[in-house]
A and B are shown apart, each in its own frame.
Chain A
Amino acid sequence: MKRKLLSLSMALAMTASLLAGCRSSADQGSAAASTQAPAADTAATEAATEAATETAGSGIAKEDLKVGVIYIGDENEGYTAAHMDGIKQMKESLGLSDDQVIEKTNIPEDESCYDAAADLAEQGCQIVFANSFGHETYMLQAAADYPDVQFCHATGYQAKSSGLANMHNYFTSVYESRYVSGVVAGLKLNEMIDDGTVKKEDCKIGYVGAFPYAEVISGFTSFFLGVRSVCPDATMEVRYTNSWADMSAENEMAKSLIADGCVLISQHADTTGAPTACEAAKVPCVGYNVDMTTVAPDAALTSASISWGPYYTYAVQSLLDGTPIDTDWCQGYADGADKITPINEKVCAEGTQEKVDEVESAIKDGSLHVFDTSTFTIGGKSLDDLIAEGGDYAKYADSTKDGYYHESDTTLNGSAPSFDILIDGITSITE
């Protein structure tokens, strides 16, 4: 009885305080609403005065800095996990405290993204990041509404054309990581051909893609070019899940590709679905974002990966220094923004590490170009010839020079991947 009473009084006390909490905050809310001067405006004017002093003096003092981040997923999803790592790196290298970084996870690509961005701006964040492609238009909307807050959007392409000074895009030259991971896969294929497990003519790779547009097409093309640089007989079949992160769909897709005769699997989708299927089927695979050896210790070769730390550190440091942030930012292997995860010695072919080192240094010193036009054809013709013929391919003319396609070049076509041509050797079921 005593305990009952105790718990009852506890419950009562709790509810009372909860109600009190509600009331006071609701009052504040209605008060703000009834003055008909939405908090947005006051926050904006406050920020405006702040910005004015900022341009007069230098940057924002470190202790006043607040950073907001919007993630499509959470730590359970590889792509977002990589971003979270980057934010952590930035926090450590700049010496920010935990309460100076506000992270919102699992924000879908709809009005919730605008809600989150506006909410972060009103909480006093001077800079807000968002990490998914579909967030972009909502970030643009927030950037227009809060002109004194910097909005940075990964994988997007509209900052430059928006004309908003506080809207920025960023991405890395992930095609370089994919190329290197392709080399690792190609060496494995060679080993399988040499020991007779696979015939030369059956050497087909399966690729689990998310959506059929440039970011994914550029990704699998660079991966395939990496494979072919060491294993010229390889072909590739691409299928799409139409989702960035769908564990069961990616798993099913990998299984059906394996059933269709694919002897190696790679992916541009964010979960461990495909590697799990590969581990069960004992088919080697190349992952994305994070090391897949935890789920596929006997199948994972390596993963193409991005380090977001350099960008986050750069962008936030710019705020501290009071220098402008690039409207469009892209760095690659040479700057430490791209990498592959440590190669899995257990599965990888002998001599992989040496070859990887060689390719990596060639990429870094600029002697190797991933989209070298002499290494691929389209319908039997080279890209250079097709551009010379004009027509549909004329639009690639500006980005194609010096013998290669300039992918993710911020001076030519922006940080977001733009190579969207299906090259020979790759079959894709949507085409």
Chain B
Amino acid sequence: MAGTKTGTKNVLHMVRRSDMNRGKALVIRLIAVLLSLSVCALVIVAITGENPLSVYSGIAAGAVGTSRRVWVTIREIAVLLIIAVGLTPAFRMRFWNLGAEGQILIGGAATAAVMIYLGPVFQDWLLFIIILAVSMAAGMLWGLLPAVFKAYFNTNETLFTLMMNYVAMQIVTFFVVLWEKPKGSNTVGVINQTGKEGWFPQIAGQQYLVNVILVTVVTILVFVYMKYSKQGYELSVVGESYDTARYAGIDVKHVIIRTMLISSAVCGLAGAIIVAGASHTISTSTAGGRGFTAVIVAWLAQFHPVAMIATSGILVFMQQGAIQIATQYGLNENASDIITGIILFFLVGAEFFIRYRLELTKVETGSAVGENK
């Protein structure tokens, strides 16, 4: 329609940022955390009428208030971290491994089996090595299937790995029924409670130090592998594009299977750390959703190891603090879920502002309408 009155209006534009550096990104993230905490404070006051500062200090006390709590928090961070580390190679290759949950469970079940059947037979140091080997092998088996199908038949790995979780859960259910005590109660209880056969040894009186050492070693190994090895380079090329990888002479099938084996072996090892290093039991909730939480951890940290410690730290801190505020204020754990959700919302939102800038531009409306006509 010609002859419409022309005018201007303001339009918001997303503009990709080119001026972003590490320092600036860090400032933006920090602002996001501050904003999220103030929003949380408002929510806390609105819902509970409690002083947000005292709720926050309750959370802090619950997570790091005593040396025991510090160790429990460290233990949980270590578990979340190693799963996130395990996911990293696969995700770098853009192989969406959503099967960590199942790989942990099957690694955990293998560990429990070793503790139950071989516990009385072998010495502790030998058991330790067997547990590490068997749990990684079990995890690998769980990763091998979807990897082979992806490599040779190009099946959708997201669905495949997800479904493998349910298979693992059923297998664990079977073993729980086999090992439960008493029959029908659905609880295996603490395995080898008296002799502690197969339990990770204490170092310097600390029960969870072995877990921390294992996780640290694996984290360093995986990142050296990713950053400095030829294989690490290959898998990131495969992640960029199969065609490029083929053009460069990389055997794509081989890389997919190899990478997924590494990823799932680490997740299987996480199962061993949970079962032999912390809970000393097995149940269908042994993984407890951590296979999925670790995806968030890894993504938020953009696969950077130090950042992963920070992101898993925040999540575990909130989760451990939740138990304390539940006790102190009668808030149940949903309260801490809300707080965690708000913090994640702001952190994810911050990533947008790190990559893009919003610009207000003036657009002439009249001519635009005319052109469309």
Interface positions of A (Cβ within 8 A of B) = 7, 10-12, 14-15, 17-18, 21-22, 25-26, 28-30, 32-33, 36, 38-41, 74, 102-111, 115-116, 118-119, 122, 133-134, 136-138, 140-141, 157, 211-217, 242, 420, 430
B53 to chain A, nearest CB (A): 6
The reply on B327 being an interface residue by CB < 8 A is yes
Please name the residue on chain A nearest to B183 by beta carbon: A213
Those 4 A-B pairs whose CB atoms lie nearest each other, nearest first: A213-B184, A29-B70, A11-B38, A32-B67
CA gap between A215 and B65 in the complex, in Å: 38
Q: Which of B65, B72, B190 contacts A138 (CB 8 A)?
A: B190
Closest to A115 in B: B72
19 contacting pairs across A/B (C-beta < 8 A): A14-B56, A22-B64, A25-B64, A29-B70, A33-B67, A38-B67, A38-B68, A104-B327, A105-B327, A111-B281, A115-B68, A119-B68, A119-B69, A133-B187, A140-B190, A141-B193, A212-B183, A212-B184, A214-B182
* Chain A minimum-CB-distance residue to B69: A119
Knowing that A10-B38, A110-B279, A157-B182 are A-B contacts, what are 19 other residue pairs whose CB atoms are under 8 Å apart, sorted by A's residue number?
Answer: A10-B41, A11-B35, A12-B34, A14-B52, A29-B64, A32-B67, A33-B67, A106-B332, A110-B285, A116-B323, A122-B66, A134-B187, A134-B189, A137-B193, A212-B184, A213-B182, A213-B183, A214-B182, A242-B186
For A141, the chain B residues whose CB sits under 8 A away are 190, 193
Chain B residues with CB under 8 Å of A17's CB are 53, 57
Count A-B pairs with CB separation below 8 Å: 132
How many Å from the CB of B69 to the closest CB on chain A? 7
Q: Is B310 an interface residue (CB 8 A)?
A: no
On whether the beta carbons of A18 and B68 are closer than 8 Å, the reply is: no
Q: Does B280 interact with chain A (Cβ within 8 Å)?
A: yes
The yes or no answer to B283 lying at the interface (CB within 8 A) is yes
B209 — nearest CB in chain A belongs to which residue? A33
CA distance A157 to B56 in the complex (A): 40
A122 with B68: CB separation less than 8 A: yes
Interface residue ranges of B183-208 to A (CB < 8 Å): 183-187, 189-190, 193, 204-206
| Contact between chains at B281 and A137 (CB < 8 Å) | yes
Return the CB mask of B280-296 against A: 1 if under 8 Å, else 0.
Answer: 11010110000000000
**Cα of A217 to Cα of B182 in the assembled complex, Å:** 13
Closest to A17 in B: B53
Minimum C-beta distance from B212 to chain A (A): 12
User: Interface residues of B, CB < 8 Å — how many?
Assistant: 45
By secondary structure, the A interface counts as helix
Given contacts A14-B52, A133-B185, A133-B187, contact A33 B64 (CB under 8 A): no
**Inter-chain contact A140/B281, CB cutoff 8 Å:** no
What residues of chain A lie closer than 8 Å to B185, measured between beta carbons?
Answer: 133-134, 211, 213, 215
Expressed in whole angstroms, the Cα–Cα distance for A164 and B280 within the complex equals: 20
Shortest Cβ distance from residue B247 to the other chain A in the assembled complex, whole angstroms: 50
Residues of B close to A10: CB separation below 8 A? 38, 41
Complex CA–CA separation, A267 to B71 (angstroms):
41
Whether A21 contacts B56 by the Cβ 8 Å rule is yes
Docked complex Cα distance between A15 and B278 (Å): 32
Q: Which residues B319-355 have CB closer than 8 A to chain A?
A: 323, 326-327, 332-333
Question: In the complex, A134→B279 CA distance in Å?
Answer: 13
Give min CB distance, A130 to chain B, whole Å.
13
Residues of B within 8 A of A213 (CB): 182-185
Between A7, A28, A33, A36, the greatest number of chain B beta carbons within 10 A of the residue's beta carbon is seen for A33
* A142–B232 alpha-carbon span in the complex (Å): 45
CA distance A213 to B186 in the complex (A): 9
- Asked if B37 CB lies within 8 Å of chain A CBs, one says yes
A14:B206 contact, CB within 8 angstroms: no
> Are A25 and B60 closer than 8 Å at their CB atoms?
yes
Chain B contact residues: helix, strand, loop or mixed: helix
Contact status B60-A22, CB under 8 Å: yes
- In angstroms, Cα B283 to Cα A361, docked, is 44
Residues of B bordering A, CB below 8 Å = 33-35, 37-38, 41, 52-53, 56-57, 60-61, 64-72, 182-187, 189-190, 193, 204-206, 278-281, 283, 285-286, 323, 326-327, 332-333
Cα(A122)–Cα(B184), bound, Å = 34
| Whole-angstrom CA separation of A115 from B67 in the bound complex | 12
- Knowing A29-B69, A110-B283, the reply to whether A104 touches B193 (Cβ < 8 A) is no
Indicate which residue in A7, A39, A106, A108 contacts B38 across the interface (CB closer than 8 Å): A7
Residues of B within 8 A of A215 (CB): 185
Chain A residues with CB under 8 A of B280: 111
A contact residues around B184 at 8 Å (CB): 211-214, 216-217, 420, 430
Q: Tell me the nearest residue of chain A to B30, going by C-beta.
A: A15
Q: A11-B35, A18-B37, A134-B189 are in contact. Are A40 and B326 (CB under 8 A)?
A: no
In the complex, the answer to whether B60 meets A21 with C-beta atoms within 8 Å is: yes
Decide if B68 touches A40 in the complex (CB within 8 Å). Answer: yes
| A29 and B66 within 8 A (CB) | yes
Q: CA A367 – CA B65 in complex, angstroms?
A: 56
- Whether B37 and A11, one on each chain, are in contact in the complex, defined by CB atoms closer than 8 angstroms, is yes
Alpha-carbon distance A194/B206, docked complex (angstroms): 69
Chain A residues, Cβ within 8 Å of B56 = 14, 18, 21
Nearest CB of chain B from residue A337's CB, rounded to whole Å: 23
Question: Chain A residues near B206 (CB, 8 Å)?
Answer: 33, 38
| Chain A residues whose C-beta falls within 8 Å of the C-beta of B205 in the assembled complex | 36, 38, 41
Q: Identify A108's interface contact among B67, B183, B278, B285, CB under 8 A.
A: B285
- Report A-chain residues with C-beta under 8 Å of the C-beta of B67: 28-29, 32-33, 38-39
Would A109 and B68 count as touching, CB distance under 8 A? Answer: no
Which B residues are in CB contact (< 8 Å) with A15?
A: 33-34, 37
Closest to A244 in B: B186
Complex Cα gap A74–B61 (Å): 22
Smallest CB–CB gap between B129 and chain A, Å? 23
Max chain B Cβ within 10 angstroms of own Cβ: one of A18, A102, A430: A18
A26, B60: Cα distance in complex, Å: 9
Least Cβ distance of B306 to chain A in Å? 18
**Contact partners of B37 in chain A: CB under 8 A:** 11, 14-15, 18
- Determine the distance from Cα of A116 to Cα of B71 in the docked complex, in whole angstroms: 13
A4 to chain B, nearest CB (A): 11
A83 to chain B, nearest CB (A): 15
Nearest CB of chain B from residue A385's CB, rounded to whole Å? 25
